Structure 1
Amino acid sequence: MAAPMLIKGARFKIKCPTFNSRNKNNSLLFCRFLASGKENSSRYDLVVIGGGSGGLACAKEASQLGRKVAVLDFVKPSTQGTRWGLGGTCVNVGCIPKKLIHQAALLGHAIQDSRSFGWNVPPDITHSWEKMSENVQNYVRSLNWGHRVQLKDKNVEYFNALGTLVDQNTIKAVDKKGEERLLSTENIVIAVGGRPKIPEIPGGREYAITSDDIFWMTKPPGKTLVVGASYIALECGGFLSGLGFETTIMVRSILLRGFDQQMANHIGDYMMNNGTRFLRECVPQKIEKTSNGQYLVSYYDENQQIQQETFDTVLMATGRNAETGGLNLGNIGVNLDESSHKVIGGYHGDNEKSSVSNIYAIGDVLQGRPELTPVAIKAGRLLAHRLYDNSQIQMDYNKIATTVFTPIEYGCVGMSEEMAVEQFGEDDIEIYHAFYKPLEFTVPERDVAQCYIKLICKHNVPQTVLGLHILGPNAGEIIQGFSVAIRSGVTYEEIISTVGIHPTCAEEVVKLNITKRSGLDPTVTGC
């Protein structure tokens, strides 16, 4: 039941309606709000909790469809006190600053390579973390401002406030000054994303930074320990090494869990061969601050023996938690996954609908979906059209391309080799592969040992493509186009019948002809 409008300052008696009987405290709380006559209340068609890419996309689309929409966004500071503006993880502490700093590292490699191409580059060129950080942060701030302008232009009301559900139609919003207001709404979209989790070890939360902090550091990180084996760990470790910092990555088990493991191991080999140190089968046990301001890390090695080493910075990249803890979702009947605390969707045939009929979830907070910005954006827009434009189109979460921006980029779409074997069996898949040499790597004699392409197909003709994996320069740019073809059901024959663009890395995909099954050397020679 929607809450009645509250007129500020009015003096009259209100009979409090009956709300969710499963949580009397929430009903009493709402009654107190109504009786006080001091809080503001507004009615909306849609309220989005979370100002990240998905939430903003959904809100703006719904507003363009003629609905009254509000967005709530509130950034709790990280364990080290870092804050940022509107736009969510991607804009502030994810994709955007990550890709820019990755580019900074690539430029460092390019400067080195340029000598082989005849550029007279002085030997004493240095990099300024401070200058890079200032420019990246200024760009991010411009995006924060741009998002606020877009919301205003599209008539979306923005609240820099923390949202909590009172019932399935009412949200309490609390701003940074502690001022409260009630928002009454027909539909709610949960788009709060996630935040890094830190292992519960002595000194972990006190001294370690996370990806919430690394992009907002104004001082260079120095000798750095990265704990974790996810794409965040490898991307951060990769650009830190590329910028000249002594970098160690501590890995408990495997690299890039959930990704193709052959590709993951190639990435590890490339990074190790190009200056990044790995501690395998190791687990941090304690972090202590030394008298000179460094951090002494105690950890178990592969033999379960305690080792110690000192670092200037310790970066934890050991996974993320959904930010659902303070939303009161469970008390109003929204089912959450017991392990991840993400919203379980898929109710009543809608991929994003929760167990409460008017509450939806999109983006990283939705259980079992790819944690990717374009996924959240597309899902948010499609949801707005289903709610307010009579659309029936659901978000298709299959065959979505992505790229890991490690020093050697990894682009992929579709199934990993492990997934294909599990679903079809080894005898019913065919894998075409090649080790190739990017032309731009030849003159400076760059490491090409891990430049590799793998095309996974069904074994029987017409050999429908199940997955494509590319390691090499500009892998993200290459995989995007192929993802369109693979989503459309392209076959191996159709790929190899396509004429390539010479000389490019992408053309190696349409030249694939060696199968793993054959045992032949897949190394590409000549043109």
Structure 2
Amino acid sequence: MSFDYDLFVIGGGSGGVRAARISAGHGARVALAEEYRMGGTCVIRGCVPKKLMVFASTAPAAIEEARAYGWSADAGQFDWPGFRGKLDAELDRLEAIYRKGQENAGVKVFDQRATVSGPHEVTLADGTKITTKHILVAVGGRPFVPEFPGCDLVMTSNDIFKLDILPQRILIVGGGYIACEFACILNGLGVQVTQYNRSPLLRGFDGEARDLIVDQMQANGVDIHTHVVITEIEKTENCLKVTCGDGREDEFDAVLYATGRTPNTEGLGLETAGVELGERGEVMVDEWSQTNVPSIFAVGDVTDRINLTPVAIREGHAFADTVFGANARPSDHELVASAVFTQPEFGTVGITEEEAEERGNAEVYVSSFRPMRSSFAGSDARVLMKLIVCRETRCVLGCHIVAPEAGELIQMVGIAVKMGATKEQFDATCAVHPTMGEELVTMRNPVRHY
């Protein structure tokens, strides 16, 4: 059977564009459809604009520290419209790079929605039907907002970058890393931030690291309330009135919901094609990113495996090499390092202490201290370095860092952990002094055993 294309990719985010470009490089005839903007969640409404906002939000603290070091400095007022204009221009630049990369690779790009209409067929929004030997679904996820009276009045993380003005008072609902990151960002930009969640913040992360981050967020001015559930939001003349299940009421200028994300498969036609979906709408795939329909694959957040941009990129690359590059390799989801851009920053790889306690046969090494830079400036900020070590093999099974630039540190540590480095190999590495990171190679005695 003759097909219009060898591969049709639905979704122009990180995983989709990598798969399309590499597949085309292997000689495949490739097309890609994106209904919004090239670059997906990460580039357009996620990692990139968020990190730029992180940089902006840390300026006041840096200036305060500068005064402690002898500088005469004043932050002045934050110019949100000016910043947003530069942010929009930067996203336009990045989107153009993504689009140019596809064009240079020979990928045909359709700027419209595509749905699956069969194992070897997609339908564009304009009604055009296209046949293809393989389909790759890479449509990512979308923010989830529960149904309740007034839920239509809230923002999500998709909206925050498009605000005309910053609110004076904002309520952030959620306790995951996205909610905590935006709480820190907006607090740093001068917004009065309150955060509600039905359970403790940053669940699933190492408990000791999580507690330090939450304590520091509160010390920095974020008003955190847990075990709170919103039952209604009402728009008044001047604000949003929020009512909770415990009877509390409060008023805010804006409410941001960051209560998780859901795979973006609704209305995509996958069920019609016979593709198996999970309870949350995620595309069920095997280690090769292949669905139960042999011609249809999926990568990235839509599969709800590890919802991180670098993971989606690696999944897309592995798919292309396997299907078109004669280099079959599954996606590797073991020991993936990640960072949470709260203030303080958090880097993590491997198992948590809670998981170590459940498994047993582990040692925990911890160093928590006021770093030289903060101490001299009179700040009470602390950092945390933690290693989880297998007592039998001596391999480092996990590392958790709460510190400035923790993301940069965990990238390097992640290499050693991925290689199976032992605690003794960490110890044999000479310290770089004076740094925070030297603590990772100077912790001699475990503080807890399991």
Normalised-by-shorter TM-score class: over 0.9
Matched position secondary structure for 2:448: coil
- In structure 1, distance between residues paired with 2:364 and 2:449: 10
Confirm or deny that 1:447 pairs with 2:400. no
Matched position secondary structure for 1:221: coil
- In structure 1, distance between residues paired with 2:20 and 2:219: 46
Shift of 1:518: 7.7
The one of 234, 244, 257 aligned to 2:190: 244
Shift of 1:335: 0.9
Confirm or deny that 1:228 pairs with 2:174. yes
Partner of 1:351: 288
Gaps of 5+ in 1: 6-42, 76-84, 520-527
Matched position secondary structure for 1:263: helix
Map 1:254-403; keep pairs closer than 5 Å. 254-292=200-238, 294-300=239-245, 305-338=246-279, 340-346=280-286, 350-367=287-304, 369-403=305-339
- In structure 1, distance between residues paired with 2:289 and 2:433: 43
Report the AA paired with residue 424 of structure 2. E
Say how many residue pairs are matched.
Answer: 450
- In structure 2, distance between residues paired with 1:441 and 1:136: 30
Partner of 2:35: 74
- In structure 1, distance between residues paired with 2:213 and 2:288: 34
Partner of 2:162: 216
Normalised to the residue count of structure 1, the TM-score between the two structures is 0.83
Partner of 2:56: 104
Confirm or deny that 1:138 pairs with 2:89. yes
Confirm or deny that 1:474 pairs with 2:411. no
Report the AA paired with residue 453 of structure 1. M
- In structure 2, distance between residues paired with 1:372 and 1:518: 32
CA distances 1:309-363 after superposition (whole Å, capped 9, x unpaired)? 110110000011111111111222211112x2101111xxx43111111111101
CA distances 1:424-471 after superposition (whole Å, capped 9, x unpaired)? 22xx1000001022222122122224x1111001112x4111000000
Does structure 1 conserve the Cα–Cα contact (< 8 Å) formed by 2:288 and 2:319?
Answer: no
Confirm or deny that 1:494 pairs with 2:435. no
**Range with bigger deviation, 215-224 or 392-401:** 215-224
- In structure 2, distance between residues paired with 1:55 and 1:271: 36
The one of 53, 65, 77 aligned to 2:14: 53
RMSD of equivalent CA atoms: 1.5
Matched position secondary structure for 1:332: coil
Partner of 1:170: 121
Does structure 1 conserve the Cα–Cα contact (< 8 Å) formed by 2:117 and 2:272?
Answer: no
CA distances 1:200-243 after superposition (whole Å, capped 9, x unpaired)? 11111x21000000012121122100000010000000111111
Partner of 1:438: 371
Does structure 2 conserve the Cα–Cα contact (< 8 Å) formed by 1:434 and 1:514?
Answer: no
Partner of 1:407: 343
- In structure 2, distance between residues paired with 1:341 and 1:420: 31
Does structure 2 conserve the Cα–Cα contact (< 8 Å) formed by 1:134 and 1:218?
Answer: no
Matched position secondary structure for 1:212: coil
Normalised to the residue count of structure 2, the TM-score between the two structures is 0.97
- In structure 2, distance between residues paired with 1:65 and 1:309: 58
- In structure 1, distance between residues paired with 2:184 and 2:357: 30
Map 1:149-188; keep pairs closer than 5 Å. 149-174=100-125, 179-188=126-135
- In structure 2, distance between residues paired with 1:221 and 1:309: 15
Which structure has the larger Rg over C-alpha atoms? 1
Does structure 2 conserve the Cα–Cα contact (< 8 Å) formed by 1:430 and 1:515?
Answer: yes
Shift of 1:262: 2.2
CA distances 1:459-489 after superposition (whole Å, capped 9, x unpaired)? 12x4111000000100000000110110010
Q: Which runs of 4+ in 1 moved over 6 A?
A: none
Report the AA paired with residue 188 of structure 2. G
Does structure 2 conserve the Cα–Cα contact (< 8 Å) formed by 1:260 and 1:418?
Answer: yes
Confirm or deny that 1:513 pairs with 2:444. yes
Matched position secondary structure for 1:111: helix
* Fraction of identical pairs, as percent: 36
CA distances 1:145-164 after superposition (whole Å, capped 9, x unpaired)? 11111111111111111111
Matched position secondary structure for 2:149: coil
- In structure 2, distance between residues paired with 1:121 and 1:262: 35
- In structure 2, distance between residues paired with 1:351 and 1:370: 15
- In structure 2, distance between residues paired with 1:50 and 1:441: 44
Does structure 2 conserve the Cα–Cα contact (< 8 Å) formed by 1:46 and 1:188?
Answer: yes
- In structure 2, distance between residues paired with 1:446 and 1:322: 42
- In structure 1, distance between residues paired with 2:342 and 2:445: 27
Does structure 2 conserve the Cα–Cα contact (< 8 Å) formed by 1:251 and 1:279?
Answer: yes
Shift of 1:514: 3.4
CA distances 1:473-526 after superposition (whole Å, capped 9, x unpaired)? 00000000110110010000000110121121211111122322289xxxxxxx
Report the AA paired with residue 514 of structure 1. N
